[in-house]
Amino acid sequence: FKHFINFFNSYFFWDIMENTIMISLWKTLWGFPAPILLALLINEVRHTFFKRTVQTISYLPHFLSMVIVAGLVYVVLGVQGGLVNHVVRLFGGEPQNFLGNPQYFRTILVTTTVWQTVGWGSILYLAAMANLNPELYEAAMIDGANKLQQAWAITLPGISYVIVILLIFRIGDLLDAGFEQILLLYSPSVYEVADIIDTYVYRAGLLSLKYSFGTAVGLFKSLLSLILLLVANKVAHRLGHTGIW
């Protein structure tokens, strides 16, 4: 237990916990509703070719490895040769180190995550919407309900079981803030807002050869994730929703 004690008493414990939770929370707040909204919009498209085109384009980022995504981020936001800074120079401004600025770094993480996952995440919701009874929409139209009212009163309640189950899994992954993404994009200048449990385990366990300490920290994260999953599932049952078991 000495490794757990050393970790809890370390001066960086609260910093990496705060970074992990804050990054994951922001990704959840923006990234979880985004696929639902996209699925609602796609579900209203009646032109088959346009619908399939939008779906295909939105799915493509999912198949890009994080290394490629990180490369694209550098192409767009890099200090030297980045597209954004190129435009800034054209207008006489000074180039900005977006990836090295703590003020922008978390926003970049959240934006790239949403862009990469929103299309693929909408698949389950679209499948659930396809199983809804079309007679419900016909009755709503007769009653004068518009598209927004139909989505609120029929579509969202009809897919609520999918939303709840995926939200439970997301809460269980709350301590997974995106290790590979952060490792590829961050630098010491943004450690204060980007250093998370996984990146710390990587540095302490692999780079510093403290394998036992790194394993202990990883075990702590896994146990805490399990507790979050159990609590979220219990709360879902208490609220009358379907849980994962």
Instruction: Write down all domains in the chain, each with its CATH number in brackets.
Output: 2-238 (1.10.3720.10)
pLDDT at position 194 is 92
Amino acid at 235: V
pLDDT at position 135 is 92
Q: Average pLDDT of each block of 10 consecutive residues along the chain (245 residues)?
A: 82 90 95 95 90 93 94 92 90 89 94 95 93 91 90 92 92 91 92 91 79 86 92 88 75
pLDDT at position 103 is 93
pLDDT at position 1 is 74
Look at the block and give the residue holding tokens 């926003």.
Answer: 107
pLDDT at position 180 is 94
pLDDT at position 13 is 87
Query: Residues 109, 182: contact at Cβ < 8 Å?
Result: yes
CA 225 vs CA 88, 94, 164, 219, 234: distances in Å: 43, 43, 17, 10, 14
Which helix (H) or strand (E) covers residue 186, if one does? none
* SS3 assignment, position 155: helix
The whole-angstrom separation of Cα 173 and Cα 202 is 18
pLDDT at position 105 is 95
pLDDT at position 63 is 95
Question: For the chain, how many residues are written?
Answer: 245
pLDDT at position 202 is 87
Query: Residues 238, 168: contact at Cβ < 8 Å?
Result: no
